Amino acid sequence: RFMAEYRVREDWGRLRGILLGSWQFTLGISLCICLISMGIIRTLDYYRNISYANILYIGIWLVPLQALMLLHEDMSRGANSLILGYTPSKIAWPLLAIAGGFYLGKQGDMLDSTSMTEFAVIALSFVVVLQWMLLWNRFDQEIISSHAIYEPRQWLKVALPFLLIQSFREILTESDTLMVGGILGSSAVGVYDAACKTVLWVNLILKSVNLLAAPAFTTLYTQKNLPDLQKIVSAITWWIFWPSLGISIAFILLSQPILGLFGPDFISGSWALRILVFGQLISAICGSVGNLMMMTGHQNDTLVASGSCALINLVGNAIMIPLFGLAGAAFTTMFTLILWNVWLSGLVVQKIGIYPSIFASLLSKPEACCEPQD
C-alpha cells in the first residue's frame, strides 16, 4: 500500500525507507523467532531427548527465508510486477526442491528428512537472494540514490490493524473446521474439511484478481481519481462474478459427485458444500471490498467489521454445530461471510464514494457519486 502511494507522490526517500525498513524489520522479527524456538527445542531435547531435534534446528531457518520470500512477493506487487513477484517463489523454488530430491535419491541413502531439509534451506536462500537482486534492479535510479526516510511509527500504526484483520480472517475461515472436529469428531471434520477446501474454487477468481488490482486501488485513490477507480472496480467485479457464478452453479448441481471423488463417505457433506458455495458467491457479488478498504487507508473500520464477524462466527458455531451438525457449521460460516461482505460494501460506499458490487455494473455505468468521508 505504501509503495503505491509513494510512487504516485514520487517520494523516493520514503519509498527507499519502507523497502529497507520492512526488510530489516521482517528479518529481525523472524530471527528472534528462530532463536527463541531453538532455545525451546534445546530445552525440550535436554529433558525428553527428542529424536528429530536436529531436523528442527535446520528447518527453523526456513522461517526467516520464507518471511523474506513473502515480503519480496508483496514488494514486487507494489512495483507492478507479478511475474517478478511469483516466478522465483512459485516456480523456481518448487522446481529446485524437486530437482534436489531426485539428485539426493540418486546418491543411494542420502535422501532423508535431514538432507532434504538442508537442501530446502539452501534452495530457498538462493531464491530469496535472486528475488532481492531482481527487485532492486526494478526500481528507478532515483530510488536507489535517494536518502532513506524512515517513519516506523506511521508504518506500524497501519501494520498492526492489518495483522489483526488477517488474524480475524483466519478465525473466520478456520474456526468452523476446528470446532466441528472438537464437537463432532475426526470423521465429521474430514468430511467438512473436504467441502471447505472444495468450495475455495469459487473464491479463486476473486483472490487472483485482487493480486493484480490492489496496488491500483491505492494509486487511483491517492491521485483522488474516483471516476477511474469506480471504472476499474466495476470492471474487476464483472470479471470476478461471472466465472464464480458458473463454478457455483456447477458445485451446487454436482455437489455429491464432486465430494464422491474423495470417497463415498464424503457425500454426506453435500449440503454443507451447497451452503458454503452460497457464501462464497456473495463474496463474488460484493467484489474486492476488503482490499478496497485496506488499500485506501480505512483499515480501522475493516478491523471493527472483521473482529465482530469473527466473534459472531465463534458464538454461532458453538450453538449451531451441536444442533445441526455440518449444516449448522456451514450456515454459520455462510452468514458471517455475507455479513462481512455486506458490512464492508456499505463502508466502501460511505468512506470511499464508489459502488463495488456487481449490481452497480449491471444496472448502470456508475460514476463516483459521493465524496469520501473521513
User: pLDDT exceeding 70 applies to what percent of the chain?
Assistant: 95
Percent of the chain whose predicted confidence (pLDDT) is above 90 = 35
CA dist., res. 78 & res. 218, Å (int): 10
The pLDDT tens digits for 278-336 are 999 998 899 889 888 988 888 899 999 999 999 999 999 999 999 999 999 999 999 99
Q: Is the pLDDT of residue 367 over 60?
A: no
Task: Tell which of 145, 179, 213 closes a domain.
Answer: 145
Cα–Cα distance for residue pair 318/328, rounded to 1 Å: 10
Poorest-confidence range of 140-144, 213-217, 223-227, 369-373?
A: 369-373
Whole-angstrom distance, CA of residue 115 vs CA of residue 92? 19
Indicate whether 151 belongs to any domain.
no
pLDDT of residue 373: 46
Residue-wise pLDDT tens digits, 162-182: 889 989 988 888 889 999 988
42 belongs to a structural domain: yes
Q: Write down the pLDDT at residue 365.
A: 47
Residue 167 inside a domain? The answer is yes
- Provide the residue range defining the domain that includes 325: 156-363
**End residue of a domain, out of 145, 174, 207:** 145
Q: What is the pTM of this model?
A: 0.76
- Do 205 and 138 lie in one domain? The reply is no
If asked whether residues 278 and 338 sit together in one domain, one would say yes
Same domain, 209 and 344: yes
Is there a domain that residue 106 lies in?
yes
Q: How far apart are CA 247 and CA 203, in angstroms?
A: 9
Residue 305 within a domain:
yes
Nearest in space to 70 (alpha carbons), one of 86, 59, 55, 52: 86
Residues 6+ apart with CB under 8 A from 158: 1, 2, 297, 299
Q: Could you say which of 122, 145, 168 is where a domain stops?
A: 145
C-alpha cell at 34: 528462530
Domain membership flag for residue 369: no
Say yes or no: 334 and 286 in one domain: yes
On the question of pLDDT at 362 being above 70, the answer is no
Q: Are residues 296 and 348 in the same domain?
A: yes
> Does 295 lie in the same domain as 256?
yes
Residues 183 and 309 in one domain: yes
Residue 286 one-letter amino acid: C
Note the pLDDT tens digit of each residue in 57-80: 888 999 999 999 999 988 887 777
302 and 226 belong to one structural domain: yes
Q: How many domains does the chain have?
A: 2
165 and 293 in a single domain? The answer is yes
Query: In which region does residue 352 sit, left (phi positive, over 0), alpha (psi from -120 to 50) or beta (all else)?
Result: alpha
Whether 123 and 195 map to the same domain: the answer is: no
Query: 189 and 328, same structural domain?
Result: yes
- Same domain, yes or no, for 91 and 192? no
